[in-house]
Amino acid sequence: MNRLGCLLLLIAVICSSCQKEKKEEKITPPATVATAPRIIKEFGYNLNDYTVVRDTIKSGDSFGAILDSHGIGRGRVFQITNAIKDTFNVTKIRAGKPYTLLKSKDTTEKAQVFIYQNSKIEYTVVDFTDSIIAQKKEKPVSVVERTASGVIESNLSKTFDDKDLSILVAYKMADIYAWTIDFTRLQAGDRFKVIYTEKFIDDTIPAGIGEIKAAYFEHRSKPIYAYQFVDDTIHNTADYFDQKAENLRRAFLKAPVKFSRISSRFNLKRRIKFYGNKIRPHRGTDFAAPIGTPILATADGIVTKSERKGGNGKYVKIRHNATYDTQYLHMSRQAVKVGDYVRQGDVIGYIGMTGNTSGPHVCYRFWKNGKQVDPLREELPTSKPLPEAQRPAFFKHIEPFKNKLDSLTFDEEEIL
């Protein structure tokens, strides 16, 4: 190729390169697509629409003071508290409980919604954006059925702890077998299997143990099954029965307080030094315990009295049937009202020192056919048996639970 040809070729290459660069310069990068903000919903509100404040009730805090510090004046606070008093008693908010405030996103940042979390599951919403509305609600809860089993080496609590199981399951088992097994005298080699439920919020946050559906406990080589079954269809309440449909509990608890001691027994000839050693009959049994200890109904029944009167102080009386009544004196406060139906073991009040008393205790009084008697000397009836008409349904109900229990070994825990 001659010199002129080489020159023309070089010019063509340069022009081609320049055109390529120009084309590349004209390439426009793709536009960035804006990502929509993630919608966060809780308590029935879209939290993206608010400025969210989360805090905890502190000692000395009040509903009014909290709102006042977030732009709600005293007049409006009075309107709110008066409007919601039948749904939410603001004087009963407790230190340590979490709350959430939803505030407007404008320059005022004024509070519009107050949410008080009574528990992990239950909460109360007070919405005063425009009109005033208060509602009690619950977070969605899922229930998972679990199984567990184990062999006792020293005691039930340690066995559950070693297997990383909730001690609440152990407590529930102790309540179920309270009348058939002395859990303070378990032996090495005793063993158990249990089917129970566990609750979760949003499928991930543990919210406590639910119910024990079925259990097997082998104590001193004697196996005892326990199955939960709704025997009272009127009140929709359940009890626990063994594989022969026999009730595992008796009609009355031995004491209205757990883990307490008897400080004074039923004694019609008791002499009191303070009264000049005169005979002052004591028609009750005193169970000493710290102030605030829960007092339990010793049997199913209807609350006939819940009041404060003279030397009795604050007390509750329960009618169990045509034969038996019980009474619980000197409470710090009652937890039930007249007309309430209570089950054995329900909390009906708390240990106190109201009325004539020299120390914290509950005076437990027991009536049989209208006469006060000593319950520790009475041959009390067993719990009502399962009616014959309900037995076919019971045996059908327990069959799958028995199969599950029998298929478990004594060293496993699993989610069914």
C-alpha torsion sign, points 415, 215, 159, 198: positive
β-strand 361-368 against 341-342: which pairing, if any? unpaired
Residue among 296, 299, 293 at smallest CA distance from 319: 299
Place of tokens 């049937």: 321
β-strand 413-415 against 271-272: which pairing, if any? unpaired
Asked if 42-138 and 141-250+405-415 have one fold, the answer is: yes
Strands (E), 168-310: 191-201, 205-219, 222-232, 237-241, 261-264, 271-272, 278-279, 285-288, 294-296, 301-309
Contact at 8 Å (CB) between 325 and 304?
A: yes
- The pLDDT of residue 274 is 46
Class of domain 261-373: mainly beta
pLDDT per residue rounded down to tens, the chain (416 residues): 555 555 555 555 555 555 555 444 455 556 555 566 677 888 889 999 999 999 999 999 999 999 999 989 999 999 999 999 999 999 989 999 999 999 998 888 889 999 999 988 899 999 999 899 999 998 888 999 999 999 988 777 788 888 888 888 988 898 888 777 767 678 888 999 999 999 998 778 888 899 999 999 998 889 999 999 998 777 777 889 999 998 887 778 878 887 666 767 656 555 454 455 555 667 788 888 899 999 999 988 999 999 999 989 999 999 998 889 999 999 999 999 999 999 888 999 999 999 988 889 999 999 988 998 888 777 777 777 788 999 999 999 999 999 999 999 886 444 45
- CATH number belonging to the domain at 141-250+405-415, selected among 3.90.226.10, 3.40.50.620, 3.10.450.350, 3.40.50.300: 3.10.450.350
Q: Does domain 42-138 have CATH number 3.10.450.350?
A: yes
DSSP state for residue 34 in the 8-state scheme: P
Cβ neighbours of 151 (radius 10 Å) = 14
Delimit the domains of the chain by residue range.
Answer: 42-138, 141-250+405-415, 261-373
Q: What is the pTM of this model?
A: 0.58
